[in-house]
Amino acid sequence: MEMQIIELEKRYWQGMENHDYETVKNLTHFPCIIAGKSGLQSVDEATFKSMFESVDGNHIKLLSFSDVELQLLNESTAITAYLIEIKVADEKQNSPVKCACTSTWIKENDNWVCAMHTETELSQH
């Protein structure tokens, strides 16, 4: 089951990279909680779609996915933590960004979905 959760996390990022809303939506529990440099928010499906479509001009490229930690809390709840490096092609920034991410996955109607995700940009040393 652990490898399944890791593969779902990677599929989520591939969906973001390919700007594939259906894949990302199907892997998300609504409302989902998101925490990052913009703050905290609980997001319903309509808001999520609007947010997803608003980044249409920013192409995300996943450069690395590493240092995965995963805990199965029970048969229907898993938490993950990992490091990513992404490149966001937009007017403001063209250098890769490293982030520490966490996700909470729950099994709902026999499918795993992400109920909470955080991204913390790592400082450049």
Decide the pairing of beta strands 97-108 and 111-121. antiparallel
CA Rg, the chain, in Å?
Answer: 14
Residue 39 region, left (φ>0) first, then alpha (ψ -120 to 50), else beta? left
pTM of the model: 0.89
pLDDT digits (tens, 9 = 90+) for 25-48: 999 999 999 999 889 999 999 999
Q: Where are the alpha helices (DSSP H) in the chain?
A: 2-17, 21-26, 45-54
pLDDT digits (tens, 9 = 90+) for 37-87: 889 999 999 999 998 888 765 678 899 999 999 999 999 999 999 999 998
Distance (Å, whole) CA 76 – CA 98: 30
Nearest in space to 34 (alpha carbons), one of 122, 123, 98, 116: 116
Instruction: Read off the CATH number of the domain in which 50 is found.
Output: 3.10.450.50
**Total domains present in the chain:** 1
CA distance 27 to 9: 9
Range of the domain at 40: 1-121
* Residue 64 backbone phi and psi in degrees, to 5: -155, 155
| Segment 106-122 mean pLDDT | 96
